[in-house]
């Protein structure tokens, strides 16, 4: 965005308006009303200071000690009263900003996690670094919005209060002031509009650089094995060069703007004296009126020169609004897109079957056509095929991650299905949390934690050949970085322990034992085969056949075939 327009205002309202009409609206409006009252008090004190200062200055000129000391104490009293008002004002402002940020963050998180939008937007190139948009951009939006709102409010109050004072002292000075502020605003916008786009790019490039650093930290071991330090360094330095390049352009434009705004600020010092001094020399006003005119001039000029004084902040704020607006529009568009695009029909029922399914990738490449297969309750089906034919993609279709295509999918609700990917997801938390994951219902989770004893957890670990895990790592309530602490094989066995604990009636396993030897594989699949769980596996090993009753082979070119496991020949 290279200029101010009404679109920016509309984007701001679209983000800000829901909070003020939410369930928290009365609390938010109450705090805002308190802020308005405090703002009026601050402006009232400023008006009082201007009059007290005028009398104070006249007492000095007239060498009137009684008047001087009287108004000196009044002057000091105003500051004594004003101090707690200013402190409470700032605290209330920050508190309202905190409430607003809390609500807005939760709102974005709900949209982000709803309908798996967090998964879908990974394929959208315009949405970079959603983590930064939720954490930093929202914080900046709430803090800056309140700051600008209150600055505008105080400026309006000052404008009304001090214009009358200034008009009573000098009408020409008032006219000069208005013309000067209009000129300053126009020139500032013309000089500084480029800053909005530069600030937008700076936010994105800083986030890209930070993501690169996080990526290196998360994959430190793999990089060390590959000795990829040089290439990673080149990637990081390339991203950092983009940060520096854009920031160099940014400070260059800020420099150009500063030439004008600095001169604009310096000229303010002498402009009131140039206009009012001849009136004082002519005896039309007293000496104190000069200081009062200067004070009133600065207050009114500040009110009229918000754009000049705050343009750098405004440009950064506009960039943040654009990022949040694009983000929220994209999240809402994902929901709308799902409602209108051609999708596989889903029916939730206590069985697992695919009826004439044609599955497409998100970019509409057909993987398999007219697939029909039913997995009887309590049995297992193995999906096989060459690498790249779409085995894992078919699991994504069953999970609802990919639903572009035609046909009907019959499956139980997702909370009855446990998915075990090749690399299990290790959550942030304790070993107990790992074993009890996932729990979608907080109440159910709390009840489960109370009823699952350490002895039961230990028994499950023994069944998956991790008998020493809890003792070795400090117990079930130790928090560690499990991705780094556990090997891939240990993580896969831990995922099976989750399956045994939850006793999920359905399970989807995507090469869930690929990092295990045949003995460990058998110790995991045999209890699963003996249970009542209905499961689908993806795998390459012929050893998996004996744990399944059906085989679905994806042959490529959208072709497939289904047969019993005892009739499938892997060598054919």
- In CATH, what number is assigned to the domain containing residue 334? 1.20.1560.10
Tell whether 329 and 380 lie within a shared domain. no
- Burial of 466 from C-beta contacts in 10 A (0-12 / 13-18 / 19+): buried
In a domain, residue 551? The reply is yes
Tell whether 435 and 292 lie within a shared domain. no
Residue that is written with structure tokens 């990081």 in the block: 236
Q: What's the pLDDT at 373?
A: 92
Tell whether 284 and 250 lie within a shared domain. yes
Tell whether 322 and 431 lie within a shared domain. no
Instruction: Identify which of 57-71, 311-325, 445-459, 517-531 has the greatest average pLDDT.
Output: 517-531
- Res 202 pLDDT > 80: yes
Q: What's the pLDDT at 63?
A: 72
Tell whether 233 and 372 lie within a shared domain. no
Tell whether 136 and 165 lie within a shared domain. yes
- Res 273 pLDDT > 80: no
Q: What's the pLDDT at 292?
A: 66
In a domain, residue 485? The reply is yes
How far apart CA 248 and CA 15 sit, in angstroms, is 31
Q: Which one is predicted more confidently, 180 or 425? A: 425
- Res 6 pLDDT > 60: no
In a domain, residue 1? The reply is no
Q: What's the pLDDT at 254?
A: 81
Q: What's the pLDDT at 307?
A: 62
Q: Which one is predicted more confidently, 296 or 463? A: 463
Predicted model pTM: 0.57
pLDDT in tens, 404-436: 888 999 999 888 888 898 888 888 788 988 888
Q: Which one is predicted more confidently, 460 or 46? A: 460
Q: What's the pLDDT at 521?
A: 92
Q: What's the pLDDT at 22?
A: 58
pLDDT in tens, 522-537: 999 998 888 889 999 9
On whether the CB atoms of residues 359 and 530 are closer than 8 A, the answer is no
pLDDT in tens, 79-117: 777 778 878 878 888 888 788 888 888 888 888 877 777
Domain assignment of residue 533, given as a range: 345-567
Question: pLDDT band for position 141 (50/70/90)?
Answer: confident
On whether the CB atoms of residues 201 and 320 are closer than 8 A, the answer is no
- Region 490-498: what's the mean pLDDT? 92
On whether the CB atoms of residues 536 and 352 are closer than 8 A, the answer is yes
Around 328, how many Cα atoms within 13 Å sit in the side-chain half-sphere? Answer: 21
User: For a pLDDT cut of 90, what percent of the chain falls above it?
Assistant: 17
Q: What's the pLDDT at 568?
A: 87
In a domain, residue 186? The reply is yes
Question: pLDDT band for position 13 (50/70/90)?
Answer: low
* Counts for the chain of helices (H) and strands (E), in that order: 20, 12
Q: What's the pLDDT at 113?
A: 78
| Residue of 467, 468, 353, 493 whose CA lies nearest to 410 | 353
In a domain, residue 554? The reply is yes
- Region 453-472: what's the mean pLDDT? 90
Q: Which one is predicted more confidently, 5 or 520? A: 520
Tell whether 415 and 301 lie within a shared domain. no
CB atoms within 10 A of CB 271: 17
What six digits make up the tokens of 511? 């090469």
| Residue of 357, 342, 404 whose CA lies nearest to 552 | 357
Tell whether 352 and 313 lie within a shared domain. no
Q: Worst-scoring range by mean pLDDT, 7-21, 145-159, 294-308, 522-536?
A: 7-21
- In CATH, what number is assigned to the domain containing residue 515? 3.40.50.300
Tell whether 311 and 362 lie within a shared domain. no
Q: Which one is predicted more confidently, 39 or 433? A: 433
In a domain, residue 572? The reply is no
- End position of a domain, from candidates 312, 339, 366: 339
- For the chain, the domain total comes to 2
Q: Worst-scoring range by mean pLDDT, 282-291, 365-374, 439-448?
A: 439-448
- End position of a domain, from candidates 339, 367, 392: 339
Q: Which one is predicted more confidently, 185 or 500? A: 500
Tell whether 300 and 163 lie within a shared domain. yes
Tell whether 222 and 349 lie within a shared domain. no
- End position of a domain, from candidates 309, 339, 369: 339
- Res 443 pLDDT > 50: no
In a domain, residue 110? The reply is yes
Helix (H) or strand (E) holding 563: strand 559-564
Tell whether 334 and 385 lie within a shared domain. no
- Res 567 pLDDT > 60: yes
In a domain, residue 236? The reply is yes
């Amino acid at each position: 965005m290279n200029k101010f327009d009404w679109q920016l205002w509309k984007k701001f309202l679209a983000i800000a308006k829901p909070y003020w009409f939410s369930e928290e609206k009365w609390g938010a409006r109450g705090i805002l009303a308190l802020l308005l009252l405090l703002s009026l008090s601050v402006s009232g004190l400023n008006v009082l200071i201007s009059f007290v200062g005028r009398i104070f200055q006249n007492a000095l000129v007239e060498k009137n000690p009684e008047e001087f000391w009287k108004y000196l104490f009044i002057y000091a009293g105003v500051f004594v009263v004003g101090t707690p008002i200013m402190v409470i004002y700032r605290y209330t402002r920050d508190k309202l900003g905190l409430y607003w940020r809390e609500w807005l963050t939760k709102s974005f998180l709900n949209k982000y996690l709803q309908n798996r939008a967090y998964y879908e937007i990974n394929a959208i190139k315009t949405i970079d670094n959603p983590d930064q948009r939720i954490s930093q951009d929202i914080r900046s939006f709430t803090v800056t919005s309140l700051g600008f709102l209150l600055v505008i409010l105080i400026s309006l109050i000052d404008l009304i209060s001090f214009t009358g004072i200034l008009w009573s002292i000098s009408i020409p000075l008032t006219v000069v002031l208005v013309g000067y502020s209009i000129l300053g605003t126009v020139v500032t916008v013309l000089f500084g509009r480029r800053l909005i786009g530069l600030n937008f790019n700076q936010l994105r490039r800083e986030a890209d650089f930070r993501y690169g650093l996080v990526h290196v930290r998360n994959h430190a071991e793999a990089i060390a094995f590959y000795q990829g330090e040089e290439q990673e360094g080149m990637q990081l330095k390339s991203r950092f060069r983009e940060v520096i390049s854009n920031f160099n352009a940014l400070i260059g434009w800020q420099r150009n703007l500063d030439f004008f705004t600095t001169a604009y600020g310096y000229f303010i010092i002498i402009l009131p004296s140039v206009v009012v001094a001849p009136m004082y020399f002519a005896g039309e006003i007293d000496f104190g009126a000069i200081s009062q005119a200067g004070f009133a001039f600065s207050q009114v000029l500040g009110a009229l020169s918000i754009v000049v004084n705050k343009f750098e902040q405004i440009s950064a704020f506009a960039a943040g609004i654009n990022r949040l607006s694009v983000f929220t529009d994209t999240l809402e568009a994902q929901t709308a897109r799902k409602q209108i695009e051609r999708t596989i029909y889903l029916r939730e029922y206590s069985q697992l079957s695919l009826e004439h399914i044609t599955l497409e990738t998100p970019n509409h490449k057909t993987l398999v056509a007219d697939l029909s297969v039913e997995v009887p309750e309590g049995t297992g089906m193995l999906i096989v095929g060459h690498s790249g034919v779409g085995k894992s993609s078919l699991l994504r279709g069953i999970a609802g991650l990919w639903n572009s295509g035609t046909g009907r999918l019959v499956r139980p609700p997702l909370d009855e299905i446990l998915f075990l990917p090749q690399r299990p997801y290790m959550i942030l938390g304790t070993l107990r949390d790992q074993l009890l994951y996932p729990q979608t219902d907080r109440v159910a989770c709390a009840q489960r934690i109370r009823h699952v004893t350490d002895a039961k957890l230990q028994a499950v670990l023994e069944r998956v050949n991790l008998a020493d895990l809890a003792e070795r790592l400090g117990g079930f309530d130790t928090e560690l970085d499990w991705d780094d602490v556990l090997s891939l094989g240990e993580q896969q066995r831990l995922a099976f322990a989750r399956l045994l604990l939850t006793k999920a009636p359905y399970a989807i396993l995507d090469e869930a034992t690929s990092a295990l030897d045949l003995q460990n594989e058998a110790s995991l699949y045999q209890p699963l085969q003996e249970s009542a769980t209905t499961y689908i596996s993806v795998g390459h090993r012929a050893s998996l056949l004996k744990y399944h009753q059906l085989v679905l082979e994806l042959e490529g070119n959208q072709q497939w075939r289904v047969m019993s496991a005892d009739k499938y020949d892997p060598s054919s």
